[in-house]
Structure 1
C-alpha cells in the first residue's frame, strides 16, 4: 500500500504563505490604493483581522475532524445530499480562480516583458509546469517552495529598500482622503483576494504529520501575519514613492523597481519583480491545482488522487484563453464580482459548517 504523503507544520505554513502572498504581493497594491487611496493600509489591517477569524474557523474544524478534509467533514456536518449544493459551486470557484491566476500572469507578460509573445504560449507553459509539479506531490512542492518563497520575499524587500531615496512621507496624508467608505471598499477587495482564499487550505491541513500537528496553529497564524505585513509594507512604500499615481499604475512594485538607479551601477532591475510575480504565480497555480484535484477526487470518491491533474489543467487553460474578451472585463470581474462570489460560495459554507459543528458539540 502506498504511503500517504505528509508535511511538517512549518512546511504547511510555507505553502500557505506561498499561496496567500504568491501573486497578491505584486498585484494587489495598485487596485487597493486606487480604491482606498491613502487609507489602503487600513484596508489591509481590517481584512487581515477578518482573515484571522476565518483561519480560526479552519483550524477549529481541523481539530474537531482530525484527518478529514473540508469535503469529508461537510458531509458529516450537514449530510451527503445537502453538501452537494456546496461542492458543485465550490469546484467551479476553484477552477475559475485557477484560471484567473494564469490570466493575470499572461496579462503581465503581454504588457511588460514579452509583448510579442502570444498569450496562449505563456498560459500553456505555466499550466504545464504547475501540472507536473502538482503531480509530483505535496512533499516535493513543500521542499521546493520553501526556497522559492525565500527568494521571492528577499527580492521584494530588496527592491523596497533600494527605492528608499524616493520615499516621501508627505504622500501618506491625509489619511482618509477618500473617506471611510473607500477604506471599507478596499477591505472588500483585499478580503476577496487573497484573504478569503485561505478557506481552500482546509483541503490540505490533514496532510500535516501527526507528530507536527500541535505546532500547526501558531505556524499558520504566523504565516497569515507575514502576509499582512508584506502587503502593508508594499502599499505604504508604493504610496510614499508614487504618490497619487500609486493607484493608477498597474503592478506597483514593478513600477518601483524601474525607479532604482544606484550610482548608475544598479538600475533597470524591474525584471527582478517580474521574476517574483512569475515565481509567486507559479507556486499559487500549483497549489490551487493540487487543491482542486484533491477536492474533485474526494467528491467523486476516486482512489487515484492524481488522476484529474491533467484534465483539470486542460479545462483551466481553455477557460483562461476564452473567458474574457479584454482586460477591462477581467479587472471588473476580479475587483467587483470575485469578492462577493468567494464569500457566498466558500466563506459562508465554512461558517455554516463551523456553526453546525459547534452546535452539535454543545448538544452532545
Structure 2
C-alpha cells in the first residue's frame, strides 16, 4: 500500500461515476434494448440493485479490514494460498478487461474518426496518457477525473436538450407489451453487469482520506449513475425507438440525427470527445488497479515500478484479444454479463459470507 496517497470523498464519488458511466453512454442503451426493446428505460430500475449489492459488500468488508484492498484481505479470509489464487484470478480479469477497454476505444475511434490510421495508434496514444497518470498516482487520477467529468457533462447536457426536439413519446408504446421478463433480462444481463462495476471500491477505499464517508459517497455516486443512465436510455428510445437495440453505438446515432441545420451540425464530434475523456478515466483506474494487484500479490514495494511494462503488455493484449467489432459486441452482450456478475458480485459476497461465518465461529469458541 502507498499510504501517503489519499483521495477526497468527492474524488472517490467522481471516480466511481466516471468509471461506470464513462463509456456506457454509447453502448448500454443498445445492449439493454436488445432484450427489453421499448421498455429498456424500465430496466434501469432493477439494474440498480446490483450496484447497491456491490456497495454494501465492499464497504462492509472495508470496515472489517481497514486500509487493506480486496487482494490483501482475501488472503486473511481464505488463507494465504486460496487468497493468492483469487488474487491471480483478479489480475487475469483486470488484464483482460483493460485489453478489451483499449480495443473498444480503438474500434470506436477507427470507425468514426480515423478510419485509415493503424489500430495500434489509437491504443498507444491512450495507453501512454493513462500510463503517465497511473505513474503519478491515484491522487492525480482523482484530480483529472474531478476536472474532466464536469467538463464532459457540460458538453453532454446541451446535447440532451437538443434531443427534446426529435423526441417521439409514441415510440415508448406499448409499455410492458411483452411482459416483465424482457425488462428483467435487460436489467440483469447488460444493465446489472455494468452497475456492479462499483466493486472497484475494493481497491479505492483504502486510499479514501475520510473512510467514514465511504458508504454515503458511494450511494450518491450510484444515484448519479442511475439518473445519468436513465436519461441516456430514455432519450435514446424517444428518438430511435425499436432501432435502438439494432445499433452498437445507439446514442451516437442520436447525436448524428439531432441538430439545428446551419447552426449545430456534426454533433458526433462532441460525442467523440466525451468518449475519449471517459476512456481515459476508465483505463487509468483499471491500469492502477491492475498494477496495485500485481504489486500486492508478488510483494513489489511500489506499484509504479511495473506501470511501464504493464502498459506495453496491455498494448499487446489489445491487439490480440478481439479481432473485430462483431466479437466485441458478442462479448459485451453474452460473455461479460455472466463473468461480471461472478467476479464483481458473487465472489465478494462469498468472501463476506465466509468472513461472517469465521467470526461467528471464533466468538462461539471463546
- Same fold (TM > 0.5): yes
Q: Offset at 1:244?
A: 1.6
| Structure-2 change in CA distance of 1:73 and 1:234 (3 Å) | same
Alignment correspondent of 1:71: 71
Map of 1:251-290 to 2, 5 A cutoff? 251-262=249-260, 264-290=262-288
1:22 is paired with a residue whose SS is: helix
Alignment correspondent of 1:94: 94
Q: Offset at 1:178?
A: 4.4
In structure 2, distance between residues paired with 1:49 and 1:57: 12
1:264 is paired with a residue whose SS is: coil
Q: Offset at 1:344?
A: 2.5
Instruction: Give a deviation string over 1:307-364, Cα, whole Å, max 9, x none.
Output: 2212221222111112222221221122111111222234222111111222234342
Contact 1:32–1:247 (CA under 8 A) maintained in structure 2: yes
Match of 1:250 among 225, 248, 255: 248
Q: Offset at 1:297?
A: 0.7
In structure 2, distance between residues paired with 1:84 and 1:304: 18
In structure 2, distance between residues paired with 1:178 and 1:100: 33
Contact 2:11–2:143 (CA under 8 A) maintained in structure 1: yes
In structure 1, distance between residues paired with 2:314 and 2:201: 20
Matched, 1:13 2:10: no
In structure 1, distance between residues paired with 2:275 and 2:345: 26
TM-score (norm 2): 0.94
Q: Offset at 1:72?
A: 1.3
Contact 1:10–1:216 (CA under 8 A) maintained in structure 2: no
Bigger drift between 135-144 and 280-289 goes to 135-144
Bigger drift between 94-103 and 197-206 goes to 197-206
Contact 1:254–1:270 (CA under 8 A) maintained in structure 2: yes
Contact 2:59–2:201 (CA under 8 A) maintained in structure 1: no
Match of 2:302 among 301, 304, 310: 304
Contact 2:95–2:290 (CA under 8 A) maintained in structure 1: yes
Alignment correspondent of 2:229: 231
In structure 1, distance between residues paired with 2:101 and 2:201: 17
1:301 is paired with a residue whose SS is: coil
Query: Cα RMSD over matched residues?
Result: 1.7
Alignment correspondent of 2:360: 362
Bigger drift between 249-258 and 199-208 goes to 249-258
In structure 1, distance between residues paired with 2:334 and 2:207: 34
Alignment correspondent of 1:59: 59
In structure 2, distance between residues paired with 1:179 and 1:353: 36
TM-score (norm 1): 0.94
Alignment correspondent of 1:153: 153
2:13 is paired with a residue whose SS is: helix
Bigger drift between 229-238 and 351-360 goes to 351-360
In structure 1, distance between residues paired with 2:9 and 2:80: 30
Alignment correspondent of 2:135: 135
Gaps of 5+ in 1: none
Q: Offset at 1:191?
A: 4.2
Alignment correspondent of 1:199: 199
Q: Offset at 1:3?
A: 6.4
| Structure-2 change in CA distance of 1:4 and 1:349 (3 Å) | same
Gaps of 5+ in 2: none
Q: Offset at 1:202?
A: 0.5
In structure 1, distance between residues paired with 2:169 and 2:111: 30
Q: Offset at 1:110?
A: 1.7
| Structure-2 change in CA distance of 1:353 and 1:229 (3 Å) | same
Contact 1:37–1:178 (CA under 8 A) maintained in structure 2: no
Contact 2:190–2:332 (CA under 8 A) maintained in structure 1: no
Bigger drift between 304-313 and 60-69 goes to 304-313
